[in-house]
Amino acid sequence: MMNQRSAYVSDMEPTPRVFMVEKTDFRGKQRSRVMDDIRKCIIDHQSEDGDSQRDLAHDLKEMMDEHYGRYWHVIVGTDYSAFMSYCPGSYIQASYGDLVVLLFRLG
């Protein structure tokens, strides 16, 4: 009988920290600016002490509301499920390493 060892976090290779837009239906002239703003906010938070996902979600929402109109919703995490309705042209799902950010507008 062969012994098996379960996977341990210490055995896993870290996910490269590269910003990637995984899914979006965001259109328009500001698309590149929106993606750059999101990327910058995520990377800035990763370099800070604490690395708080809650703070990142708050700051992303404030930035999106201020620059691109109100009623943005933001979900940040490494493990979640989501099912929602949103305004067409406002859905953005991006990742940075293991961290996933979901932004959408409703209203």
**pTM metric for this prediction:** 0.79
* Angle (CA) 81 53 78, round 5°: 35
In words, the CATH class of domain 15-105 is: alpha beta
Structure tokens at 57: 């979600």
Rounded CA gap, 59 and 56, in Å?
5
Report domain extents, the chain: 15-105
Q: Which residues pair with 92 in a beta bridge?
A: 24, 103
Spell out a b/e string for 87-103, using b for 16 or more CB atoms within 10 Å of the CB, else e.
Answer: eeebbbbbbbeebbbbb
Rounded CA gap, 2 and 25, in Å?
49
Q: What is the pLDDT along the chain (107 residues), one digit of tens a residue?
A: 555 555 565 666 766 788 999 999 988 788 899 999 999 999 888 776 656 899 999 999 999 999 999 999 999 998 888 889 999 999 999 999 889 999 999 97
